[in-house]
Amino acid sequence: MAIKNYEQTRTFSTVLIFIGIVAFTVALFLGFQERVWHAYLLSYFYFVLIALGGVFFMSIQHATNAGWSVSVRRLSEALTAYLPVACILTLPLIYGAFSLYDWLDAEKVAKDHLLVHKAPYLNLPFFLIRLGIFLGGWIFFARKLVSFSLKQDQDGDTIWTKKSVKYSVIFLLFFALSLSLFSVDLLMSLDAHWFSTIFGVYVFAGLFQSVFAALILLSAWLLKQDKEKYKTWINENHLHDMGKFLFAATVFWAYIAFSQYMLIWYANLPEETTFFLYRSKGAWAFVSISLIVFKFILPFLFLLPRWVKRNWKTMIFASCLILFMQFVDLYWLIYPHFDSYFPHFSWVEVGVFLAFFGVFVRSVFSFLQKHSPVPLKDPRMKESLSHHVTY
C-alpha cells in the first residue's frame, strides 16, 4: 500500500526531528544538562512503552487465538518498527545516565549505606547488560512475530499462525519480568532509596492504556486514507471492542494507582512515603490531581455510554486525552527527581519530545508504506470481517 501524502509525512517528521535536535543541542550549550537528560528519559520511555505495547497486543491476540482483532493487528505490528530505533536512542541515554542516577556517582555511593547495599544490582556494567537483554529480547520477538505475519501475506500458510502462538506465549513470560525490571532500572532507581513492589504493574497499566489509544488513532488514520476500501475491515464493531479495552485499561490503571498509594499510606514507612510526599505538596499536588481527574475520572465517565465507543470522533478525543495524560503521568514519575518543589516544563521538554515524536512517526509510517496495513491472508480474517458487537 502506498500511503497518501507519505512524502509530506516524511518531511513533517524530518522537520520535527531537526527542531528537536536543535532544542536539545541549545539546551546542553546553555548548561541545562540535568534537565535535558530528564526530558530525554521522559520522551524515550514514553515511546518505548507504546512500541512495546504493540508487541504485547499482537502477542495476546495470537496466544488467545483472537479473531476480532485480525484486521487491526497489523497496526500494532507497525508500532513495533520503532523498537530498533529505540535501541540506538538508548546510547545517548547511557551517556546522560550519569546526570540522572545517584548510584552512578562513586562519591555519593561511598557516603550512602543503602546505595552501597544496592550496588551489586545498581552498577553500570550490570545496568548495561540488563538493558541489552531487555531491548534485544523485545526486538527479537517483535521481528519474529512480524515476519511470520508478513510471510503469511505471501503464502497464506497456517503454519505461521501456529508459530506465532508459540513465540507469543514465550514473549509474554519474558515481557512480564523484563518490563518490571526495565521500569525499576530507568524510573524507580532515579530515587534509589524509594521502592514499590507494585511499580512494574503501575507502568504496565499505563502501557495497556496507551497502546489501545494509539491503535484507535492509527485505525482512524487508516480509514481517512481510503474509507471505502478499509471500512469493511475496520468498522464500528472493531472500534467498540478497542473502546471497551481502553475503558478497562483506564479502570485498571486507577485500581493499580490507588493500590500503590493506599499500601504506602497505610504502612507509613519513611523510605516509601517520600515518593508521595514530594507529589502532594505545592504545584506538584495539582499535577497529581490532574492525573486523577483526566486520566481516570473524565475518561471513565466519557467512555461509559455505548454510542461513544462506536463513534470515531469521540474515540479520537478520548485516545488523544489518554496519550497526553500518559505523558503527564511519566512526567509526574520522573521530574520530581529533578525538582521536588516545582514542576518545570518549557521549550526544553517540548523540543526533545518533538524529536522523539518525529522518529516514532517516521518508523511507524515507513513500515505501513512498505507493507499492507491489513493481514489479508490470516485464517481468522473471516471471523474479523463478520465480527459484530451486540452489547
pLDDT of residue 232: 81
Residue 31 class from Cβ within 10 Å (0-12 exposed, 13-18 middle, 19+ buried)?
A: exposed
Cell numbers found for residue 194: 524509594
Q: Whole-model pTM above 0.85?
A: yes
Report the percent of the chain where pLDDT is more than 70.
99
Cα 34 from Cα 37, distance rounded (Å): 5
For the chain, how far is it from start to end, CA to CA, in angstroms?
A: 34
Contact 52, 138 (CB under 8 A): yes
Distance CA 344, CA 339 (A): 8
* Pairwise CA distance, residues 224 & 338, whole Å: 41
Query: Would you say the C-alpha torsion 229, 235, 241, 244 has a positive or negative sign?
Result: positive
Burial (CB count within 10 angstroms: exposed 0-12, middle 13-18, buried 19+), residue 144: middle
* Cell output for 216: 484507535
The gap from C-alpha 150 to its chain's centroid, in whole angstroms, comes to: 24
pLDDT over 90 (residue 206): yes
Looking at residue 371, the DSSP 8-state letter turns out to be: S
CB count in 10 Å sphere of residue 179? 21
Residues 6 or more apart whose Cβ sits within 8 Å of residue 171:
55, 59, 141, 145
Round to whole Å and give the CA distance between 355 and 359.
Answer: 6
Distance CA 312, CA 275 (A): 38
**What region does 156 belong to: left with phi over 0, alpha with psi -120 to 50, or beta?**
left
> How confident is the model at residue 2, as a pLDDT?
57
311 CB-contact burial (10 Å; exposed 0-12 / middle 13-18 / buried 19+): middle
- For cell 500458510, name the residue: 157
What integer is the mean pLDDT of 138-143? 98
% of the chain at pLDDT higher than 90:
83
The CA R_g of the chain, rounded to the nearest whole Å, is 21
Largest CA distance in the chain: 67
- The answer to whether 235 and 374 have CB atoms below 8 angstroms apart is no
| pLDDT of 191 higher than 90 | yes
Instruction: Cell 516544563: give the residue.
Output: 345
Mean pLDDT of 186-198: 93
pLDDT at 1 over 70: no
Average pLDDT of the chain, as a whole number = 94
> pLDDT at position 250, please?
97
**pLDDT value of residue 226:** 79
What is the Cα–Cα distance from 380 to 272, expressed in whole angstroms? 48
Separation between Cα atoms, residue 140 and residue 52, nearest integer Å: 12
At 33-43, the pLDDT tens digits run 999 999 999 99
**Per-residue pLDDT reduced to its tens digit, 277-316:** 999 998 999 999 999 999 999 999 999 999 999 999 999 9
Q: Where are the alpha helices (DSSP H) in the chain?
A: 6-29, 33-63, 70-79, 83-96, 106-111, 113-118, 124-155, 159-186, 199-225, 227-230, 236-267, 270-278, 282-291, 298-302, 312-334, 347-370, 381-385
pLDDT above 70: residue 225: yes
The pLDDT score that the predictor gives to residue 183 is 97
C-alpha cell at 323: 496519550
Instruction: State residue 195's pLDDT score.
Output: 86
Render pLDDT for 23-62 as a digit per residue (tens, 0 to 9). 999 999 998 999 999 999 999 999 999 999 999 999 999 9
Residue 292 · residue 286 · CB < 8 Å:
no
Domain boundaries, the chain: 6-385
